[in-house]
Amino acid sequence: MPTNINKNKLFIACCLALTVTAMTFAIRAGILGQLSQDFSLSDTQLGWINAMAFLGFPVATMLGGLLYNLLGAKKLIAIAFIGHLLGLLLTMNAGGFWTLLISSFCIGFANGSVEAACNPLIADIYHKNKTTMLNRFHVWFPGGVVIGALISKNMTDMSFGWQAQIAVMLIPTIVYGYLIFTQKFPQTTNINTSTTVNIKALFSPLFLFIAFCMTLTTTSELGTQQWIERILGSSGTSPMLIMAMITGVMAVGRYFAGPLIHKFNPAGVLLYSAVVTTLGIYSMSIATGNMVYFSALLFALGVTYFWPTMVGFVAENIPKSGALGMSILGGIGMFAVSMWNPIIGSWIDKARLEALAANSSPELAELAAGQATLANLSIFPFVLIFAFTALVIFMRKSTKATEVTRE
């Protein structure tokens, strides 16, 4: 790698870009209630607005993965900067359902471009420590969510409108834009950069299996958090404080992920995550009051390592998939969340109507709707317990076979 490449500044630029990505996620979750009131939107309609953000993400990661070898990381992050700037400005001036759909898609496309550019860039510049550094990079998704959640809560408490909350994100966007335009990036020189080789690797049984699991890990993590204000709003807690707590735990856990991953290996960490996430989501579905905080902490300890460990697993165990593999994996996960978002919204609407039909008070109906939705969401990580158990067994057999072959 050329000596004039400043790896630390590139890493900081990537972390800031991911922070903006996370803030869009957190603040959007925090303003759903205001959007519902201002534009008379149902939860199903809010689900479609959320879906556009999650749909823009996989479109960008798939295109970015295919074009990474041609464009390089710098141009892709520049596209993310333009997308964030455009999406935020459009959101601030949105006039209703359709304009919110378009602006959400732009933001989602920018978020996906960040992922498509930064994951392979970090894997390249820290090629001897990929999974650990990817976990440290992904500290700034929960870190950004903490920042966004606290900003949203405090601004809401001070009666600031949702437009002002969106405007706050323009500041870190401009900062990371400045950094990427003033830094030199490494050339794409990895031996596995042939797009044909990358595509072939995507059809390996192991990649297809991990891709299926990614649809469940991402929905378990993001499908739950994106709706936290709606599903926990009547539980006797502060949903945005819970989100800040969850993502704060995730940030710390990811920063110190190295020793855990080296001790238990990525497959073992994923199995642990599936078990604890299942317990966390299910316990949230039956908890009220202060017990919700304990359940949310359990959930946080579970989902912490899902995303970066899945990406790191592909980088280390399916290296021929290259940047395309990491991008497609993230895209598949976000596409799944985009498809499930309207369904999650409909679960809330349906459960609320059933509770009201049973003569529940409006407040109890909201509580029942949130708990029923969480119970449904717990199915996703429950399935993963079996999937990752199989993965652990497969990886152990593969390791033993490799050791025998070497001998």
Distance, CA of 240 to chain centre: 17
pLDDT at residue 205, as a whole number? 95
Parent domain of 202: 7-183+195-399
pLDDT in tens, the chain (407 residues): 555 778 888 998 999 999 999 999 888 877 877 888 888 888 888 888 888 888 888 899 888 878 887 888 899 999 999 999 999 999 999 888 899 999 999 999 999 999 888 988 888 888 777 767 877 888 888 888 888 888 888 888 888 888 999 999 999 999 999 998 888 888 765 544 577 888 899 999 999 999 999 999 999 998 888 788 778 877 777 887 888 888 889 888 887 876 777 777 889 999 999 999 999 999 999 988 889 899 999 999 999 989 888 988 998 889 888 878 888 898 899 889 888 988 998 998 899 999 898 877 888 888 888 899 999 999 999 999 999 999 999 998 887 765 545 55
**DSSP assignment string, 181-214:** HHS-------TT--HHHHHHHHTSHHHHHHHHHH
Q: What six digits make up the tokens of 156?
A: 């809401």
CA–CA distance, 95 with 110 (Å, rounded to integer): 21
50 domain-assigned: yes
Which residues make Cβ contacts (< 8 Å) with residue 399, sequence separation at least 6? none
Count of alpha carbons within 13 Å of 86, Cβ hemisphere only?
16
1 domain-assigned: no
Report the interhelical angle of 257-286 vs 205-218 (nearest 10°). 50
- Decide: pTM greater than 0.85: no
Gyration radius of the chain over CA positions: 21
Which residues make Cβ contacts (< 8 Å) with residue 178, sequence separation at least 6? none
CA–CA distance, 108 with 115 (Å, rounded to integer): 11
Say which CATH number the domain at 258 has. 1.20.1250.20
CA–CA distance, 46 with 129 (Å, rounded to integer): 40
pLDDT at residue 166, as a whole number? 92
pLDDT at residue 347, as a whole number? 92
What residue has token string 């689900």? 47
How many folded domains does the chain comprise? 1
What residue has token string 């759903």? 32
**DSSP assignment string, 254-302:** HHTHHHHHHHHHHHHHHHHHHHHHHHHHHHHHH--TTHHHHHHHHHHHH
CA–CA distance, 190 with 72 (Å, rounded to integer): 12
C-alpha dihedral sign at 68, 178, 55, 142: positive
pLDDT at residue 405, as a whole number? 52
190 domain-assigned: no
Q: Which among 136, 323, 137, 336 is positioned nearest to 217, based on CA atoms?
A: 336
End-to-end, the C-alpha distance of the chain in Å comes to: 34
pLDDT at residue 188, as a whole number? 62
126 domain-assigned: yes
What residue has token string 């903490």? 146
Count of residues for the chain?
407
Cα–Cα distance list, 150 to 25, 243, 271 (Å): 13, 9, 31
3-state secondary structure of 40: coil
CA–CA distance, 318 with 158 (Å, rounded to integer): 49
